[in-house]
Structure 1
Amino acid sequence: MKLKYILPILFITLFTTACSNNDDETPVINEVEGLVKIQEITNNDHSIELYNKAGKFNTGYNNVTIRIKDHTDNSYLENANISWTPMMQMPSMQHSCPKSTITKIADKKTLYQGIVIYQMTNTDGSGWSLTFNYNINGEDYTATDTISVTQSEKQNVTNFIGSDGKSYIVALIDPKDPIIGINDLMVGLYKMESMVSFPVVQDYTIMLDPRMPGMGNHSSPNNTDLSYNSTDNMYHGNLSLTMTGYWVLNLKLKNGEGTVLKGEDITESNEKSSLYLELEF
């Protein structure tokens, strides 16, 4: 075969082979893209990496993404059963806080997810520790370390004793990015059963009256009270924000029988409920 025919065939073969090799390569997927690492909690065998969008823990609601790295080969584990226990050390006692179970994120190979609600912190962020207990292929492990929890600028969580003598925690979850108009308002409500148990409270009512203290304490139209949703175990309502600025979300908590456990109506003589959350945008 003449050279002028051989060269084109050779180029075509090389090009096809190169394209075939590129197609066979598996792309590397960064499963924590868009998240910022908070810290790692380690033991001799593994590093537990903690992530969220802010790269830190704050008082109030925290959505935490978790993955476990094996020190043997630096791979990330895909099949672990994980539980966690946050604890705050007080001068004369210690207590935990509301938290969810940790579950595998459905469309991720190595990521797990849970929520934790820190109801308080020290001024320097100290006081809290976080312990993980987990099982891999039938073998149990534990890892624990201190963590830093920053005080949020606005009151996005509050704990109180109701008229029934029980301790409750209310936490603002949404809106994270408020808008002028109707916002989906989501709040978590928990009851303190013991120093380590904070179950979700079901089927209560949280009445809502948002006000702007800096603008004559005016309210807004088309708000709705919050009711319990069994799908996500949260309380949902409509929050109407008519302008940007600082808002107080005055709340009144009623149990299933309609008894007011905490909070008051807003009147000319009472400009703020004893139960409230804050936001500013």
Structure 2
Amino acid sequence: MKLKYILPIAFIALFFSCSSDDDNTTTINEIEGLELIQTIINGNETIELYNEKGMFETGYNMISLRIKDNTSDTYIEDATLSWMPVMQMPTMQHSCPKSSIAKALGKDTVYEGFIIYQMTNTDGSGWSLTLNYNIDGTDYSVTETISVMQYENQNIASFMGSDDSRYIVALVEPKDPSIAINTMKVGLFKMQNMMTFPVVEDYTITLDPRMPGMGNHSSPNNTDLTFNNADNFYYGDLSLTMTGYWKLNLKLMNESDTVLKGEDVTEENESSSLYLELEF
């Protein structure tokens, strides 16, 4: 074959090779599987709040955030953020347990953390959320009202312990329970003051799941919940032998095994005063 034919063929092959590479370039959707809860506009920035349901509910809420620069229509990749949820009561106000906010693993524009709302008004009102953030050395802050709806079952309990301290225990997992031995994960927090709820470490939470509608029977192979230093949550095994409504009877015990709240389930005592609920 003559050179004058070889060169055009080579250029054509190179063109299609480059075109093919460009066609295979895909844009990653960093909020895939999440639903928008709310947008908060603060001057030149828009903060977007997401989770799996597209709403805030009482109990544990894992929340993803993005900050958009409205001028360039691009998302900020190097911000630092913090937040303060506040519930306005008739004569007082208080916050709730919350995490710090960090960059979501493997994502460029998404930040995440959790908030545990322990209560709400019947219409979902009463809460506000203050977001503080820093971009390129400049501090910003915005406060907006939010709606927090009541979760259908008791997935959180706020109570006074026998040590005269107020505690909050919240169910995190299982999110999708099944007839099996499920990993149970809860958060445990103590109210230091109206705005501060630190994690409680190294306590024990005993577990006795029962089905009140089925003779109050229990299940085998449950284990008590113990503290995990890796993520500051409590873990145990929850055995569910059938579908339906379960009352997860709990007892909270400190490092000295002193019971701070809750009772054993017996024939005379059908449930503990400390419990969470689950239905599937």
- When the two structures are superposed, what TM-score results if normalisation uses the length of structure 2? 0.95
Contact 1:57 1:149 in 2 (8 A): yes
Deviation at 1:105, TM superposition (A): 1.4
| Structure 1 residues without counterparts, runs of 5 or longer | none
Deviation at 1:21, TM superposition (A): 3.0
Give me the whole-angstrom Cα distance separating, in 2, the residues matched to 1:258 and 1:143. 44
Which shifted more, 166-175 or 23-32?
Answer: 23-32
Give me the whole-angstrom Cα distance separating, in 1, the residues matched to 2:103 and 2:235. 25
Which shifted more, 67-76 or 13-22?
Answer: 13-22
Give the aligned partner of residue 215 of structure 2: 216
Give the aligned partner of residue 20 of structure 1: 18
Give the aligned partner of residue 229 of structure 1: 228
Give the aligned partner of residue 193 of structure 2: 194
Give me the whole-angstrom Cα distance separating, in 1, the residues matched to 2:9 and 2:119. 69
Give the aligned partner of residue 176 of structure 1: 175
Identical counterparts, % of pairs: 63
Deviation at 1:10, TM superposition (A): 5.2
What is the CA deviation profile of residues 174-214 of structure 1, one whole-angstrom value per residue up to 9, with x for unaligned ones? 00011111010101000000111000000000011000000
Secondary structure in 2 matching 1:55: coil
Give me the whole-angstrom Cα distance separating, in 2, the residues matched to 1:56 and 1:161. 29
* Matched pairs, number: 278
Contact 1:247 1:280 in 2 (8 A): yes
| Structure 2 residues without counterparts, runs of 5 or longer | none
Runs of 4+ in 1 over 3 A off after TM superposition: 8-16
Give the aligned partner of residue 244 of structure 1: 243
The correspondence of residues 254-265 of structure 1 with structure 2, limited to 5 A, is: 254-265=253-264
Give me the whole-angstrom Cα distance separating, in 2, the residues matched to 1:208 and 1:183. 13
Secondary structure in 2 matching 1:18: helix
- When the two structures are superposed, what TM-score results if normalisation uses the length of structure 1? 0.95
Give me the whole-angstrom Cα distance separating, in 2, the residues matched to 1:176 and 1:207. 20
Deviation at 1:41, TM superposition (A): 1.2
Give the aligned partner of residue 114 of structure 1: 113
Deviation at 1:15, TM superposition (A): 5.3
Give me the whole-angstrom Cα distance separating, in 2, the residues matched to 1:52 and 1:257. 38
Contact 1:42 1:144 in 2 (8 A): no
Give the aligned partner of residue 39 of structure 1: 38
User: What is the CA RMSD across the aligned residues, in angstroms?
Assistant: 1.6
What is the CA deviation profile of residues 135-166 of structure 1, one whole-angstrom value per residue up to 9, with x for unaligned ones? 11110001221111110000000100000100
Give the aligned partner of residue 204 of structure 1: 203
Give me the whole-angstrom Cα distance separating, in 2, the residues matched to 1:152 and 1:52. 15
Contact 1:254 1:261 in 2 (8 A): yes
Give the aligned partner of residue 76 of structure 1: 75
Contact 1:97 1:197 in 2 (8 A): yes
Which shifted more, 13-22 or 204-213?
Answer: 13-22
The correspondence of residues 58-77 of structure 1 with structure 2, limited to 5 A, is: 58-77=57-76
Give me the whole-angstrom Cα distance separating, in 2, the residues matched to 1:35 and 1:176. 15
